Structure 1
């Protein structure tokens, strides 16, 4: 079948059929499949983090999670998902521009849910990931940390000179449990981008890739920062928008993500790679003119994600799915740059 004949599948669950069934269950306000897919993540922190993030979106107002918690008040999974739901609600209130008093209350309720989940399963990194997400709210970040008064160093001190002060102790707690946790580092990037500046977020992602091992998704972080910077600088797609993507810096980090993450992952394991990361890599490789996008598109298959295609296409007044198809088809016709 020709590439342009492949229907796109834009789905929160991506390739994860078990997760898709859990989301369908949630739409009927049932929690049983959600409980089962989380039980299967035991010992696999990256999978637990990724699945719980998607489930929190599917849970909406959290009715199914609340029902689960009523049935099993001591379930670490139910408590973690309740923290996820409340955290998402608090961050959504921030995006919607709610008043500061409401944001403080929402953050406090979500924080308390995170702390409760920690007590029931101290090894779980996800409640700490949620706290990092809450750091975007206009609150005293120290109040998110249950160990604030016990820290032997200045709270929020950056690990390197030149980096910003911020919720580093929260990131450290995630790293203790799941080194290089993908979502945690994205939450830290979002904190810098939201509360500081695009330049600070870029510096953070460069610092993170400097420590990232081969195969780590942290090698893709700068590509997200580039998309955010582009939207800040070129909201209408003009005034140097094209040249933004062809700088030596963009090319360097696109190549690094391709070599140190995508090609560093064995072919049989690539089906587990984040579809968001794959779509960002494919987009930036094509836009900056580096080779290798065809192999990334083959791994993506029909599983397009709206980001970053929609984020950039809307500045140009274009339909993102049409842009994805056009870019994919063009890349797959030029297979000369493909490596396996």
Structure 2
């Protein structure tokens, strides 16, 4: 039985998801960055550059790879060193800016917002058709608390190049929440406008469900009685309909084809289990194949343990 065999596979948290080339690069970086020599830096730069140039025009895949490598190298000297040595290399500039963003998420502040923004704008000038520098600049704008008109200006630059860019839509969703710079009404309007025209399998298809998970987490965060009955959120019409729209399609082979499809399947499995819709979660876990993501599972505890516990409940194994 294929499902049982897939359950026996070792589960793991894998930021590269199913991108095998990216996974091999991360393993190589782990092995080579420890020495810190100039020769090692040159080797790492060559490997990163080769991967980022591998699929020209696939902005979805490029954005995924740059984001994952930047998270891995956050705090490392390598992105800054590469950008300094090759100031007209768009990938070098973009990796440097994005690694600063990744480090800022951990530290709570962006050390050099102006410098990061400048790197993004230079990369955008060098590769005018690429939405990725504008996606990175959108993150810089949020961390640096730009005013809404400027943030929406960056957002429009992304859409002009990549209509359904996943990271940009999720970034704007977070920006518009009450916890950041918006309101509940703005979130609802944003999601409604997207759902009215978005293809069902677009890279940004998870925006509506992400918004519902955000709201669910907000209820959990209040503690007390509200947290105890937070599961009721998923029986409310908007949350239930968001799940209904995707529960039986996302897990179908080939339906989601974007680079972070497995991340969206993790989100769906999490939401179905939170809603106690275990029978519907089972085929989603089968489609995931043991590749867990840190979010949203980390909200309940150690992500891999939370994932495995939910998987066992869904499958009865």
Q: TM-score, normalised by structure 1?
A: 0.77
Q: 1:327 aligns with which of 303, 307, 310?
A: 310
Matched-pair contact (CA < 8 Å) for 2:231–2:275: no
CA distance in 1, matches of 2:114, 2:105: 12
CA 128–203 in structure 1, closer or farther in 2 if over 3 Å, else same: same
Residue in 2 that maps onto 1:294: 282
CA distance in 1, matches of 2:125, 2:249: 37
Pairwise CA distance, 1:238: 4.0
Residue 63 of structure 1 pairs with residue 51 of structure 2 = no
Residue in 2 that maps onto 1:187: 171
Q: Describe the SS at the equivalent of 2:130.
A: coil
CA distance in 1, matches of 2:274, 2:183: 24
CA distance in 2, matches of 1:308, 1:19: 22
Q: 2:10 aligns with which of 4, 7, 10?
A: 7
Pairwise CA distance, 1:331: 2.9
Matched-pair contact (CA < 8 Å) for 1:189–1:204: yes
CA distance in 1, matches of 2:202, 2:170: 13
CA distance in 2, matches of 1:26, 1:8: 22
Pairwise CA distance, 1:70: 4.2
Pairwise CA distance, 1:262: 4.8
Structure 1 gaps, min length 5:
143-155, 157-165, 335-340
Single out whichever of 82-91 and 129-138 deviates more from structure 2.
82-91
Residue in 2 that maps onto 1:277: 264
Residue 115 of structure 1 pairs with residue 121 of structure 2 = yes
Residue in 2 that maps onto 1:310: 298
Pairwise CA distance, 1:273: 4.5
Structure 2 gaps, min length 5:
34-43
Q: 1:251 aligns with which of 237, 240, 250?
A: 240
Q: 2:26 aligns with which of 7, 23, 27?
A: 23
Q: TM-score, normalised by structure 2?
A: 0.82
Backbone CA RMSD of aligned residues: 2.7
Cα offsets for 1:12-62 (capped at 9, x unmatched): 112222112222333333222211110113110100011111011011224
Matched-pair contact (CA < 8 Å) for 2:101–2:140: yes
CA 238–301 in structure 1, closer or farther in 2 if over 3 Å, else same: farther
CA 231–287 in structure 1, closer or farther in 2 if over 3 Å, else same: closer
